[in-house]
Amino acid sequence: MEAGATDYLVKDETPPARLERTIRYAVQLNTERRLAETALRDSETKYRSVTESINDAIIAADSRGHIISWNNGANRIFG
């Protein structure tokens, strides 16, 4: 479940209490994942709006030095 499984196979001999705990845990994991994704999208949107409102060039690179994003200021300066 922690790896992101969405379908579960339940054996007939699974005690109801354990099945209930498992389902609650799966729902909790799914909810936490969705909240984290929403928070990430929100922070990306805020980052994007801030960088696009700045006239100076802003260029982001990954750890290997590859450019991963830039703003309109960088586009104006470097084309």
pLDDT at 3: 60
Q: What's this model's pTM, rounded to 2 decimal places?
A: 0.50
pLDDT single digits (tens) 26-37 = 889 889 999 999
Q: Which residues touch 28 (CB under 8 Å, ≥6 apart)?
A: none
pLDDT at 39: 92
3-state secondary structure the chain: CCCCCCCCCCCCCCCHHHHHHHHHHHHHHHHHHHHHHHHHHHHHHHHHHHHHCCCCCCEEECCCCCEEEECHHHHHHHC
pLDDT single digits (tens) 37-65 = 999 998 888 888 888 888 899 999 999 99
